Amino acid sequence: MADDRCRVFFALWPDGALRDVLAADAGQLPAARPIARDQLHITLLFLGVVTSAQRACLLDGAAAIRSPACELTLDSIGYWRRSQILWRGARQTPPALLQLVDALHRLAQGCGVEVGTRPFQVHMTLARRVERRPRWVPPVSVTWPVRHFVLVESMLVPQRGSPYRLCGRWALLG
């Protein structure tokens, strides 16, 4: 039934202290639509609209993933002209993160969820509708101790407050 469906994605979700650091320079962002502090995240795998059975399968499978923790250094700024997105990125992607993304791809496949084939790229969206690459001093690099990953529901029906709701959070192997 349509009501059982939800739009979900796996992500890295910063804790409060890291969020403060990441949001500290948001005030300097060029005029656009900056992402609110409590919505900053890194998408690991976008799954799209799934059924409740697929969602349950994803939750079960995510709990069984054994993937190592890592340190992720966000030390670059990128801009995608077509999507008009300004993002924070990483010059180096830790192999452990790629391992996690691979595991999530396998999980999605096992749950019968079709996902795109676009290679994973670390990006934390900072602002949308940025019409041209801004002249902007990139923020200092931030090292994120990645210890968890999450499943996020992205609300299909617009509502007040955050469009995101955390459905599950799992620890990585420390």
List interacting residues with ligand 3AM (CB under 6 A): 9, 43, 46, 116, 123, 125, 154
Smallest distance, Å, CB 152 to ligand 3AM? Answer: 7
Q: Active-site residue 41, yes or no?
A: yes
Smallest distance, Å, CB 174 to ligand 3AM? Answer: 25
Output 67 or 125, the one with its CB closest to ligand 3AM: 125
Residues sharing a CB contact under 8 Å with residue 166, sequence separation 6 or more, in sequence order = 13, 150, 151, 152, 153
Q: Which of 40, 55, 90, 123 is catalytic?
A: 123
Q: Which of 161, 172, 151, 144 is nearest to 54 (CA)?
A: 151
- Looking at the DSSP assignment, which residues form a beta bridge with residue 87? 78, 125
Smallest distance, Å, CB 128 to ligand 3AM? Answer: 8
Output 67 or 154, the one with its CB closest to ligand 3AM: 154
Output 43 or 73, the one with its CB closest to ligand 3AM: 43
The SS3 call for residue 10 is: strand
Q: Report the alpha-carbon angle 106-42-37, nearest 5.
A: 150
Beta strands at 33-34 and 124-128: parallel, antiparallel or unpaired: antiparallel
CA atoms 111, 114, 116, 117: torsion sign: positive
Q: Active-site residue 123, yes or no?
A: yes
Q: Which of 9, 34, 41, 111 is catalytic?
A: 41
Smallest distance, Å, CB 125 to ligand 3AM? Answer: 4
Output 121 or 173, the one with its CB closest to ligand 3AM: 121
Q: How far apart are the first and last CA of the chain?
A: 40
Residue linked to tokens 């890295």 = 12
The catalytic residues are 41, 123
